[in-house]
Amino acid sequence: MRRLIKIYDTTLRDGTQGEGVSFSMEDKVRLASRFDALGIHYVEGGWPGSNPKDLRFFRRMQDVTLKHARLAAFSMTRRAGGTADSDPNMRALIDAGAPVATIVGKSWDFHVTHALGTTLPENLAMIADTIAFLRARVEEVIFDAEHFFDGFRADRAYALETLRVAEAAGAHWLVLCDTNGGTLPLDLVETVREVKRHVKAPLGIHVHNDAECAVANSLAAVGEGVGQVQGTMNGFGERCGNANLVSIIPTLMLKMGLDCIPEPNLRELRDLSRFVSELANRKPWASQPYVGDSAFAHKGGMHVSAVLKHPETYEHVNPDAVGNRRRVLVSELAGKSNIIWKAREYGIDLDHDTPDSRRILDRLKELEDQGFQFEGAEASFELLMERALGRHRPYFDLEAYRVIVEEQSVAPEPVAEATVRVRVKGIMEHTAASGNGPVNALDHALRKALEEFYPNLREMRLLDYKVRILDESKGTAAKTRVLITSGDGEETWGTVGVADNIIEASWQALVDSIEYKLRRDERRSVSGA
């Protein structure tokens, strides 16, 4: 039987202390339910004594059934000089109705005297009184020894005494906290080994990432017998963040052979990671281990050739195990293997030894030399392959376009107007439209000309527009690359254009975006999808 490691998620409290991270009360309810569905053992909902939103959250959660996780409410030890039964934080904790109470207490003598402003004996009494009071009123009590590793370095005897006091008062778990995030793995291991000589209660670990060691420290602690790991999804948290559970969970299961969440649920990890980012209004971290878009992306031709034969040559785990997928990027570093791989993705039958693959590769490198970049524009690359193979059939032909930007004294903003002449199915269409800017006006005019013939274009929206100056030394005469992201509610795709003129570069990317949409819909119609 494999050893079980309990996962304690504090995204809803510690994670929200990260800069720019905020969740509404309903967001927190949705996240708690998703963490429960993944198989997390503890979900810390917040500090009910600190703000009304957290108190409302705990009341709302009384109507939510968690199938796997235990809900934890966080608070601090009773106030110096008072009693636990009269402390307002204790009353709020009990009123929250959570089965688990997590109490943070000082274990660093410097913090006791300078932050709390009390004596070392009184701090020990605060720990003991609080835990004993809660032990009789909630199902489980967890003691977070704040700044434990700093305290251990400063006064080993006192730091250990805070743990012994908490254990004697009935704490179910003793959690060693690297609150400043500066401890290194070797020091952490030595400290954990010493702690185990003095207490018998189960140990947990809670570390921050200020020295980029949070994940490593958490895993090192597990290696020393620690049974509970605290952290946040995507590593959200104050300053440099907390230990990233999205990295810790698969490492425990796939690398260390330990039980954690139910094994089938591991495939939900990428979706959960992105769900958390979405609710936090954060762009997903592309290079995030295991779940990021780049985690299993291969660019070099030699790498792709090897991965085609044996994926393990350049992949440390199977991407399917964590709900991710293998991606092959195309660039000037590509070889024939990249082209073959991408052709298969797009349903194009291409043999490795035919001139077609060499022709596509040569055209790719030629365009990238001009400044094109296809890593974020795979729709343009698919069209590039079709054109190189002589299979491309345009859905319309451009006769001319013109864009005017006029500054008017009576208008607060410049007025942009575009006219387009295109031939569609043998019919000449001449349209005009205005917009917020020249590219927006051009987009409107082109759609106006095409939507009568292709009504499904009404579903399509431009989602993102990026401009990159390729040779800054030329100033306003520099070549420009435009990347456009479009979507229709079912799929998103990227297209690229490069030209000396920003309007022409935008036109190229707009045309590719529309042609990709029309080509994809036509293929689906033919296949009956």
Concatenated DSSP letters of 419-440? EEEEEETTEEEEEEEEESSHHH
Which three-class secondary structure state does DSSP give residue 142? strand
The two three-digit tokens of residue 333, written as one number: 């570093």
Comparing C-alpha atoms, which of 459, 508, 468 is closest to residue 486? Answer: 459
Going by DSSP bridges, is the β-strand pair 140-146/173-178 parallel, antiparallel, or unpaired?
Answer: parallel
Alpha carbon 13 to chain centroid, angstroms: 18
Instruction: Supply the pLDDT for residue 265.
Output: 96
Find out whether 417 and 442 touch, Cβ atoms under 8 Å.
Answer: no
CA distance 394 to 437: 27
CA distance 471 to 481: 10
Alpha carbon 231 to chain centroid, angstroms: 15
Which three-class secondary structure state does DSSP give residue 259? strand
Strand partners, 244: 232
Strand partners, 494: 485
Burial label for 522, CB within 10 Å (0-12, 13-18, 19+), is middle
Burial call 458-481: b when 16+ CB within 10 Å, e when fewer: eebeeeebeeeebeeeeeeeebbb
CA distance 496 to 376: 8
SS (H, E, C) 71-137: EEEEEECCCCCCCHHHCHHHHHHHHHCCCEEEEEEECCHHHHHHHHCCCHHHHHHHHHHHHHHHHCC
Cα angle, residue 244 at apex, residues 239 and 246 outer, rounded to 5°: 145
Whether the predicted model's global pTM rises above the 0.75 cut: no
529 residues of the chain, pLDDT tens digit each:
789 999 999 999 999 999 989 988 889 999 999 999 999 999 999 999 888 889 899 999 999 999 999 999 999 999 999 999 999 999 999 999 999 999 999 999 999 999 999 999 999 999 999 999 999 999 999 999 999 999 999 999 999 999 999 999 999 999 999 999 999 999 999 999 999 999 999 999 999 999 999 999 999 999 999 999 999 999 999 999 999 999 999 999 999 999 999 999 999 999 999 889 888 888 889 899 999 987 877 665 565 556 566 666 767 898 899 998 776 655 444 455 555 655 565 555 656 566 766 777 677 667 767 777 666 677 888 888 788 777 778 899 999 999 999 887 676 788 899 999 999 999 999 999 998 888 899 999 999 999 999 999 999 988 888 887 876 566 666 788 888 888 888 888 888 899 988 899 999 999 999 999 998 898 887 766 5
CA distance 353 to 344: 15
Find out whether 235 and 217 touch, Cβ atoms under 8 Å.
Answer: no
The two three-digit tokens of residue 139, written as one number: 């199902």
Which three-class secondary structure state does DSSP give residue 27? helix
CA distance 488 to 462: 9
Burial label for 419, CB within 10 Å (0-12, 13-18, 19+), is middle
Domains and CATH numbers, the chain: 6-279 (3.20.20.70), 297-369 (no CATH), 397-527 (3.30.160.270)
Cα angle, residue 296 at apex, residues 295 and 298 outer, rounded to 5°: 120
Residue 311, CB-side half-sphere exposure with 13 Å CA sphere: 13
Instruction: Supply the pLDDT for residue 366.
Output: 73
Which three-class secondary structure state does DSSP give residue 442? helix
**Helix (H), strand (E) at residue 217:** helix 214-223
The two three-digit tokens of residue 442, written as one number: 């051009």
